[in-house]
Structure 1
Amino acid sequence: MYHSQLAMGAVMADADGWQLPVQYGDAVQEAAYLRETVGVSDVSPLGKVRVVGADASQAVAVLLAKATEQTVGTVSEAGSAFEGGGKLLSACLAPDEFLVLTPTGMASSASNTIQSSDPVCAHAVDVTSGLCAVSLVGPATHDLLSRITELDASPAALPDLSCVQSRFSDVQGLLVRRDVNGIPIYHLYASREFGEYLWEALIDSAKEVGGGPAGTDALLGLRERD
């Protein structure tokens, strides 16, 4: 996604070895997208740990106690005990498969913690570098999603703290919803090889509903109110 973002005028900054857009030249407009229509943001540095095995829920419960209560399609949230804090999410993809989502730079610690817990039939793999991640934020997010997927992503079908695997602009991906201050927020994860294509498809769809790209400055402003 990097070269497409540069072509859009992105000002970049380092985030744990990744280059992320801080802004695209108009931070006020980008913040307005998030509040009023929809903003599209690159959040690929967020940590991603795949946990598989018959005891996957027990393994994930080392970090998020409620993981053992999760059903397929649900998301659990907990504060991180790692240095730096932040939130951890666990998305239940199947009875024996979870994706644990961590703040930037914490995936390795999360994976090691799971692997060093009491022996269980589960395996944790840090897949951060293999998946791109794009955040879709704002009240018009559903309108954007309706343009790129046949999935019913309405608030009733995909409420806060839920997840679903489907195709988005013909790319297989995982959609995770976690709202902030009543503002709909979806994170879309897909194989990094489709990153540039998916980014451009999302930006085109966002523009159709009055939205556009938003950098990390605008996102941080939203998060500070969380």
Structure 2
Amino acid sequence: MIRRASAYGCKEDLPIKQTALFNRHQQSGASWIEQYGWQVPAYFSKPEDEAARVRESVGLADLSWMLKFDVKGYGLKNTLALGEGAFSWVLGPLHALVTCNPSRRREVMDRFQGLQTAGADLSLPPPIYVTEVTSAYAQFLLAGPRCRQVLRKLTSLNLSEASLPDLACGQSSLAHVHAIILRHDLNGIPAYQLLVSREYGESVWESVLHAGYEFHLEPFGLQAHQLLKA
């Protein structure tokens, strides 16, 4: 449980959310930290060592706590302008996935509200429909020079630089489960964000670790992730 101030100034107990990988991380010896209301691994070993392994080979992190919004509607005919730190990924005609750090929630929601109301014709449907899907997906970060070699064992999606460059996305089967694959490099380090339905999170996590065994793939925590982004 986490203690937070309510709107009336008193304290109330609110549960900390747990990702689909909580039990798996617990078994792996994770040290925990609260991140925007989620219980996430701070580290599994020394953060500096975890970051070094990612830079040299490959690592896997649980980013399920990141904000995710499913956006649909004719308003997507134009590019979504959501500001720095929020990313709009095209999933299909008039369909996008928006991801961002939870610290940007209010700003992103305000922008959604503006898009829904600016110049809207009340006789027409809203320009966009927005559904938060943060808890619906397990979201993993596979990063490092070897990440493409690991991913190729699990999906038939064309991962070449020409087909899936930085900030591009695709949808494909991943370890026999439908997945959204986002290419989002970390300061020049090749990286992919993998989104699957929460119910398949643990099995896909295990499949990715198994595929990366020859490269000594291990999980890394929030502190190493912050070092890699710095």
What TM-score bracket applies, with the shorter chain setting the length?
Answer: 0.7 to 0.9
8 Å contact kept, 1:167–1:173? yes
Q: Which residue of 1 aligns with 2:60?
A: 40
The AA in structure 2 aligned to 1:114 is F
Q: Which is bigger in relative contact order (C-alpha 8 A, separation at least 6)?
A: 1
Q: Which residue of 2 aligns with 1:114?
A: 112
Cα displacement string for residues 47-77 of structure 1 (whole angstroms, at most 9, x for unaligned residues): 111110122244x6242xxxxxxxxxxxxxx
8 Å contact kept, 1:41–1:134? yes
Distance 1:28 1:105 in 2: 25
Greater Rg over alpha carbons, structure: 2
Q: 1:2 aligns with which of 22, 25, 32?
A: 22
8 Å contact kept, 2:157–2:170? no
Matched, 1:138 2:144: yes
Call closer, same or farther: CA 1:152–1:124 in 2, change over 3 Å: same
Secondary structure, counterpart of 1:55 in structure 2? helix
State the TM-score, normalized to the length of structure 1.
0.83
Greater shift in the superposed pair: 115-124 or 103-112: 103-112
Distance 1:213 1:124 in 2: 32
8 Å contact kept, 2:44–2:219? yes
Cα displacement string for residues 179-216 of structure 1 (whole angstroms, at most 9, x for unaligned residues): 12211111111111111111111122222222211111
Matched, 1:218 2:224: yes
Q: Which residue of 2 aligns with 1:73?
A: none
Distance 2:188 2:76 in 1: 31
Identity %: 32
Cα displacement string for residues 113-138 of structure 1 (whole angstroms, at most 9, x for unaligned residues): 31343234221111111111100110
- Shift in Å, 1:109: 4.8
Distance 1:192 1:112 in 2: 27
Cα displacement string for residues 77-129 of structure 1 (whole angstroms, at most 9, x for unaligned residues): x41xxxxxxx1111011121011111125346524531343234221111111
| Number of positions where the alignment pairs a residue of Structure 1 with one of Structure 2 | 202
8 Å contact kept, 2:69–2:99? yes
RMSD of aligned Cα (Å): 1.7
Unaligned runs of 5+ in 1: 64-77, 80-86
